[in-house]
Amino acid sequence: MFIDFETIAPEALRARAEGENLPPTLGALLDRTVERHGDQPALDFFDDGKRLTWRELRAASDRAANALRGIGIKKGTHVAALMSNVIEFPILWLALARLGAVLVPINTGYTAREITYALEDSDARYLVIHDELLPLFESLDDKIVPPERLVVLGARAPGYPHQWASLVAEADEAFTPSEPVGPDDLLNIQYTSGTTGFPKGCMLPHRYWVAIGQSCAASYGTHVDRVYGGFNFFYMICQRFLAHCMIQGSALFVPRKPAIRDFMAHVRAHNCDYTSVFESSVFKYAPHPDDPKSRLKVVNTFGLAKDCHADFQRRFDVLAQEFYGMTEVGLVLYMPAHEVMGMIGKGSCGVEAPFARLMIADENGRPVKQGEPGELCVKGPAILKGYYKKPEANAESFRDGWFRTGDMFRQDERGFFYIVGRFKDMVRRSGENIAAREVETVLRTLPQVQDAAVVPVPDDFRGEEVKAYIALMPGLTRDDLTPEQIASHCEARLARFKVPRYIEYKDSFPRTESGRVQKKKLVAEKTDLRVGAFDRQDGVWR
């Protein structure tokens, strides 16, 4: 980690990053990258042995754009993607960027119910799907996207009319846009749990992706050449990686099936000098003698416990640079690289990032005094345009042009921000945002359940685990609805990461005068929230 990081004041870094004449769209950014770095490596999906230079990536995306246009996809068309980590995923994203169409990435861990919701809520007109996921699509009761508007990737589905390979093979490589595409045109409807309820689609324009690529690249304090993308491409983080690789001409290395146990082995094998780590999960695995033997210069961490910071850097011989952001607003806080060593153990998320304007506000939306806690609010050109078809959520999340993050922060006299707590009714498990309301809704569909309340349980490995409190109908006992039955019900309707690990039965819940469950009182009943609950992972009552 002992390399020279740039020493630059945050204000100067902001002025430089924001002052550059950036391309207006992701497609234009790709063109600039080809001009500057055309024959350098761009993508390496190493498990499949597929690699592309930047010039080859543009040619592939242009050919794909022509192929998709040939079946009716045009500017403004919403195209869902249900795909694992294959090189065609980023090619699809860039092809849609060329057309001015809109990508709707769908989590491959979703159940049929959740996929149906995402397709319907996003108004997806087409679906690009990996053939290994076709059985999941075919299990849908309601085919929101008819089979004739499916594009199938792979060779195991000859019965569908549109096959990716044949469409692309027959398409022209020279692409000419049919309609102009601008910075405010929508590029993604990216689903996130947000603050409450079912997942909401963040409307992310081209401007968002260009700005987040520029902001991230500017914030590292050093040039990075080889980026490890150990995440699923349907998450915005891998898309963000590709955007910042375009800015610097770096190469992105992506595994077919991301797994924490392989994370550092892949980093070493591919000589990567940058990556990101969620919730310090890599740090929780047992130390390995080769941990410090990588080429890593800098790792962005999210929620790394302040007491672990020094040990993390020592173990991996890397600079652990804190970032804070969210799908809705991109990167908004970063720890300047040259400040990291002096801030070890302080617990700060850093300072204001380029393209972000921040305010810590009280409950009335007014700025608090320095040092006082309040809600972090964000304004700037690189945030979402709003939640798709969610006027009530937009009215709640935006106030006078400021986006309300739902997180409580304070700022010290030097301008460093510190997260204090979370307003959101959420569980953050291994980097996944899980809305308590969605899990509770599924639990309440059980006829034996009178009410349910979901809360986070602190966990050393995953950050937080999901706990469900269950109040049964009068006269019933837990023998009438066992934890195994509850889990089975949830597994059929929720992605696996949302299924409660801990289940506790309650005769009744503390409630407000309006009848809402008072979760704070529920949680305050015991110091260890695992006690009295069934632990599904270990199969025991705690």
Q: How many domains does the chain have?
A: 2
11-30: pLDDT as tens digits: 999 999 999 999 999 999 99
CB atoms within 10 A of CB 515: 8
Token pair of 148 as six digits: 């004739």
Q: What angle do CA 63, 68, 74 make, to 5 degrees?
A: 115
> Is residue 210 assigned to a domain?
no
Torsion sign (Cα): 94, 95, 101, 102: negative
- Name the band, by pLDDT with cuts 50, 70 and 90, for residue 306: confident
CB atoms within 10 A of CB 172: 12
Look at residue 307 in the predicted model and tell me its pLDDT: 76
The whole-angstrom separation of Cα 40 and Cα 55 is 8
Look at residue 1 in the predicted model and tell me its pLDDT: 52
What is residue 192's three-state secondary structure? Answer: strand
Token pair of 255 as six digits: 């595994």
> Is residue 226 assigned to a domain?
no
113-138: pLDDT as tens digits: 999 999 999 999 999 999 999 999 98
Q: Of 119, 151, 181, at which residue does a domain stop?
A: 181
Q: Of 121, 155, 181, at which residue does a domain stop?
A: 181
207-227: pLDDT as tens digits: 999 999 999 999 999 999 999
Q: What residues make up the domain containing 505? A: 426-541
Torsion sign (Cα): 482, 483, 484, 489: positive
26-37 helix and 54-70 helix, angle to the nearest 10 degrees: 150
Beta strands in 35-122 (DSSP E): 41-45, 50-53, 78-82, 102-105
> Is residue 119 assigned to a domain?
yes
CATH number at residue 120: 3.40.50.980
> Is residue 173 assigned to a domain?
yes
CA neighbor of 114 nearest in space, from 393, 500, 495: 495
27-83: pLDDT as tens digits: 999 999 999 999 999 999 999 999 999 999 999 999 999 999 999 999 999 999 999
Strand partners, 359: 377
> Is residue 3 assigned to a domain?
no
CA neighbor of 316 nearest in space, from 272, 276, 264, 266: 264
312-345: pLDDT as tens digits: 899 999 999 999 999 999 999 999 999 999 998 8
DSSP 350-391: BEEPTT-EEEEE-TTSPBPPTT--EEEEEESTTS-S-BTT-H
The whole-angstrom separation of Cα 85 and Cα 252 is 13
Mean of the pLDDT values across residues 230-237?
93
Quote the distance between the C-alpha of residue 84 and its chain's center: 15
CATH number at residue 494: 3.30.300.30
CB of 425 closer than 8 Å to CB of 387: no
> Is residue 116 assigned to a domain?
yes
**Burial class, 370, CB count within 10 angstroms (exposed 0-12 / middle 13-18 / buried 19+):** exposed
Q: Of 181, 207, 235, at which residue does a domain stop?
A: 181
Look at residue 280 in the predicted model and tell me its pLDDT: 53
Look at residue 86 in the predicted model and tell me its pLDDT: 97
The whole-angstrom separation of Cα 28 and Cα 183 is 10
Mean of the pLDDT values across residues 286-314?
87
Q: Which long-range contacts link 10-15 to residues 24+ away (Cβ below 8 Å)?
A: 10/336, 10/351, 10/352, 10/415, 13/218, 13/219, 13/336, 13/354, 14/352, 14/353, 14/354
Mean of the pLDDT values across residues 96-116?
94
Q: Which amino acid, one-letter code, is at 491?
A: E
> Is residue 24 assigned to a domain?
no
pLDDT at 196 over 70: no
> Is residue 92 assigned to a domain?
yes
163-179: pLDDT as tens digits: 999 999 999 999 999 99
- 262: Cβ–Cβ under 8 A, 6 or more apart, which residues? 230, 255
Q: What is the pTM of this model?
A: 0.87
Q: What angle do CA 304, 421, 396 make, to 5 degrees?
A: 120
Look at residue 195 in the predicted model and tell me its pLDDT: 45
Instruction: Return the C-alpha torsion angle 215, 220, 226, 229, nearest 10.
Output: -60
Q: What angle do CA 150, 155, 157 make, to 5 degrees?
A: 45
The whole-angstrom separation of Cα 265 and Cα 228 is 11
Look at residue 400 in the predicted model and tell me its pLDDT: 95
